Amino acid sequence: MPSRLRVFDSTIGTKILIGLTGLALFLYLVLHIAGNLLVFLGPTIFNNYSHMLLTNPLIYPIEAGLVLIFLIHVYKTVRNYLGNQQARPVAYARKERAGGPSRKTFASSTMIFSGLWLVLFIVVHVRGFKFGTEYVTPDGVRDLYRLEMENFSNPLTVAFYVVSLLVVGSHLWHGILSGFQSLGAPNPSRAPKAERWSRAIAALIAGGFIFIALWAYFTGGVRS
């Protein structure tokens, strides 16, 4: 068994593991934005949805699994980056855009930095929402709707979220397609189409979260 696990220490194995964990986190983000969009339907629906998740007995093993996947993704990505740096100890004298068929972009060139920013963002996000003020509705349900509206009433918080979600979009802009390519997909002939779809999905996810934050700030949410 240990010998089988060592395959993930190789360059190819590391990229596969980064791809697998990255795609798992991406799927979580899809579910997360889908659930968060319920905020537009008002406090009752949003709080009942949140309560259903929080009281599910599987929530703790799922959260533990997500934390483990996230830590593996960060660890392997940083190790891969440092390994690449050591393999090229002399930095390029001048960096230029790659021409021709190269898909090198600003997003792909800054993946390690956008990823490290997201580590900070996730810590702030979890602290502000999961471990935020424990408001309770008259029905005895945690009032996460009120907490969300309260958090997004602060312009500094909203500004931090907008910047951070732009970073999320940048990370996904390259990360989604890169993850699939690490697992052997898509077919080279379909790569341009897959690239467009991955970028569209990245924009929709980041844009959706940004819209929620701005909507909450400027409207204060749905009045119940």
DSSP labels for 49-102? HHHHHHT-TTHHHHHHHHHHHHHHHHHHHHHHHHHHHHHS-SPPSS-----TT-
Contact 22, 171 (CB under 8 A): no
**Average pLDDT, integer, range 88-101:** 52
Question: Each residue of 154-202: pLDDT tens digit?
Answer: 999 999 999 999 999 999 988 888 888 877 766 656 667 778 888 999 9
| Residue environment code for 138-168, b if the CB has 16+ CB neighbours within 10 A, otherwise e | eeebbbbbbbbbbbbeeeebbebbbebbebb
| Residue 136 β-bridge partners | 142
Alpha-carbon distance of 60 to 100, in angstroms, equals 48
Question: Each residue of 60-78: pLDDT tens digit?
Answer: 999 999 999 999 999 999 9
Does 92 score more than 60 pLDDT? Answer: no
Whole-structure pTM value = 0.85
Contact 94, 147 (CB under 8 A): no
Alpha-carbon distance of 172 to 181, in angstroms, equals 14
- The confidence score (pLDDT) of residue 11 equals 72
- The confidence score (pLDDT) of residue 122 equals 95
Helices 155-182 and 111-129, interaxial angle, to 10°?
130
- Domains of the chain, with CATH numbers? 2-88+104-219 (1.20.1300.10)
